Chain A
């Protein structure tokens, strides 16, 4: 498991080095391309501000009022028997529905429970390894006018479930459940 941490740590610097080496070799104006691409990053970061403000305010209200604690106490026995932390449940519900809403919840979980806790790591892996099924379905089928979706929704949601179970098991095995 130590090995996984080492690979995680060296993977990004190596990838960056490789991209730069390959770009230089292919005579791409690396610095200028970098700056052009980077401009898009600012646009994206700014454009998600309203989504995050909306979601994080709603969650903050829900938590500060004590409603979240009440909900957690209610579902905790069931979730404990499945060895899933109850705190993760709202994220699991919203993940297939809205990507930005899920991003807000993930940020909140990481902020409240610390990024290096079981819940913080689990939220991180969940956010990274699953996608917004309903959004993908609506956008892709909507754009080309598909009305009969067949088994697409069922398949998508079942795949989400597999992703959730996989994330829980992998995080528990690699980092433990503390």
Chain B
């Protein structure tokens, strides 16, 4: 799907430019766009290095683990079908904590492990269980505490206050996570009514 959208943007732009007489601008845009992207990535290095460095300390000091213990009661309410001491619970918690702190690369393998355990709980079937759908819904709602990359981009384009969006992002993310859980519950009860 991305392939189509990406090619569509460029092709339509070029054809439109041809008929609109804006070929000169299009030509310039190709090289300016590429240069802009590289400049931006270099700007991102500073914040990414700093943040992932801090997160490594949080990880090695056991701070992330402590946080996930804190969230355990909440996660038990969200996943009523997962037994408390099942390994799935641990993976779900670590995945959520990693996502919260913007550690996408650490979150994905943990999420896959969580899915494997949930599949075992579901008797190894190749259809999605209730807990799996819930886990996906929460992941797509992406609970974020520090939107690192966004802050870096805002810094790069001279925002007067790059971090002013932190609290609004947290509020929006909590609303969307609650929304995800409620929608998931609604679909679950609709399914179970049908039998």
Contact = CB atoms under 8 A, between A and B. Distances in A.
Give the interface SS of chain B, mostly helix, strand, loop or mixed: helix
Interface residues of B, number: 98
Contact of A152 (B51, B137, B161): B137
B53 A34 contact: yes
B30 A156 contact: no
Nearest to A57: B33
B45 interface: yes
A119 interface: no
B133 A58 contact: no
B37 A144 contact: no
A9 B163 contact: yes
Contacts of B112: 139-140, 143-144
A100 B82 CA distance: 33
Interface of A: 4-5, 7-9, 11-12, 15-16, 19-20, 22-23, 25-26, 28, 30, 33-42, 44-46, 48-49, 52-67, 70, 93-94, 96-98, 101, 103-104, 106-107, 110-111, 114-116, 120-121, 124-125, 127-134, 136-137, 139-141, 143-152, 154-156, 158-160, 162-163, 166-167, 170-171, 174-175
Interface of B: 1-2, 5-7, 9-10, 12-14, 16-17, 20, 22, 25-26, 28-30, 32-34, 36-38, 40-42, 44-45, 47-63, 105, 108, 111-112, 115-116, 119, 126-128, 132-133, 135-137, 139-142, 144, 146-147, 149-150, 153-154, 157-169, 171-173, 175-176, 179-180, 183-184, 187-188, 191
